[in-house]
Structure 1
């Protein structure tokens, strides 16, 4: 019987599964032009190639699992930051800052790479769910600020996030760009009172 590196077999399998997903993410962030092979992912995770097939039947199976992993993690990180921010204005700024932080960390590059190499219904559905999950707390924060049309304002804020993301991905200074976005939105988002 193979040795396990966790208290239970289930925890061992979960850790190996996580290691393979993290390795695939890292490879995609470094080389976004092509889907990584299971052998490359296993090697990056420190596992034998045959071990990768215990977790994923094919490269497409791995990419589908990565899609199911990347978008919910992005969404959770943003919504957690917003929840911890406190006031509605601070929540909106947390939304912007956390999205840009994720872009600077390479998560957007991974999502773009997945869109290029694994387009399909799974990707479309996951992307749609993530954007819906992120839009609700943003719109709620804008509504709490008394913004007359929170949905339209949320779209305008997302346009700023998109532009700032493009600047970061083009090699701009992430901290400086995040700071400019906050300077731009900060006066508008001051809580009344």
Structure 2
């Protein structure tokens, strides 16, 4: 067994913390309606249950950490998708497609489950700010396209995307929902582009 030196202790701690976050996310992805216990998380992460307490004092703290870990990746995915196109209509469609892909992949179910287990999570200023930032790439697209009232339009577009996501989570056919959303949203700015 390799000796843990002062230089590797932070790396070891970060690897264990990462394992805990990943284990929690995997448990939630597999069963979003079941609140994982520290024992569940420890078993999934291959750690002793008491070691979880070295990183998180409570399940609420752990759940919030998983949300804080997930939201920036969600935003990066959306920003990369919208940035991959020049045509405003294609960028709007890409925003919707990226969100709906994340929903279809189960990412939204994980975040929704975490928030249901800790309803005050979105009141946490840092999480609220990160959650609000998810719409920023869309606002940027609408501003670039000189759409009047881009913040208002972004909220309306986002409402369509959220409803479509709920349909997908409810079992609707993903390609059908994505096509319908693309048709609806690309009419907001010019002609639909390739995407």
* TM-score bin, normalised by smaller chain: 0.7 to 0.9
Shift of 1:2: 6.8
Query: Structure 1 residue runs of 4+, over 4 Å off?
Result: 1-4
**2:54 match: secondary structure:** helix
- Classify 1:72/1:183 alpha carbon distance in 2 versus 1 (closer, same or farther; 3 Å): same
- Classify 1:90/1:49 alpha carbon distance in 2 versus 1 (closer, same or farther; 3 Å): same
In the alignment, what sits opposite 1:45?
Answer: 45
Shift of 1:126: 4.4
Q: Supply the distance in 1 between the matched residues of 2:122 and 2:64 (Cα, whole angstroms).
A: 8
Q: Give the TM-score normalised by structure 1.
A: 0.83
The question of whether the paired residues in 1 share the 8 Å contact of 2:92 and 2:186 is answered with: no
The question of whether the paired residues in 2 share the 8 Å contact of 1:145 and 1:191 is answered with: no
Q: Supply the distance in 1 between the matched residues of 2:181 and 2:189 (Cα, whole angstroms).
A: 12
Alignment of 1:167-182 (within 5 A): 167-182=167-182
Q: Supply the distance in 2 between the matched residues of 1:64 and 1:138 (Cα, whole angstroms).
A: 25
The question of whether the paired residues in 2 share the 8 Å contact of 1:79 and 1:137 is answered with: yes
1:147 aligns to 2:137 (yes or no): no
Q: Give the TM-score normalised by structure 2.
A: 0.82
**Which structure shows the bigger proportion of residues in helix conformation?**
1
Aligned-CA RMSD value: 2.5
**2:33 match: secondary structure:** coil
**2:171 match: secondary structure:** coil
User: Unaligned regions of 5+ residues in structure 1, if any?
Assistant: none
Shift of 1:140: 2.1
Shift of 1:3: 5.6
In the alignment, what sits opposite 2:68?
Answer: 68
User: Unaligned regions of 5+ residues in structure 2, if any?
Assistant: none
In the alignment, what sits opposite 1:137?
Answer: 137
Alignment of 1:1-193 (within 5 A): 8-120=8-120, 122-124=121-123, 125-190=125-190
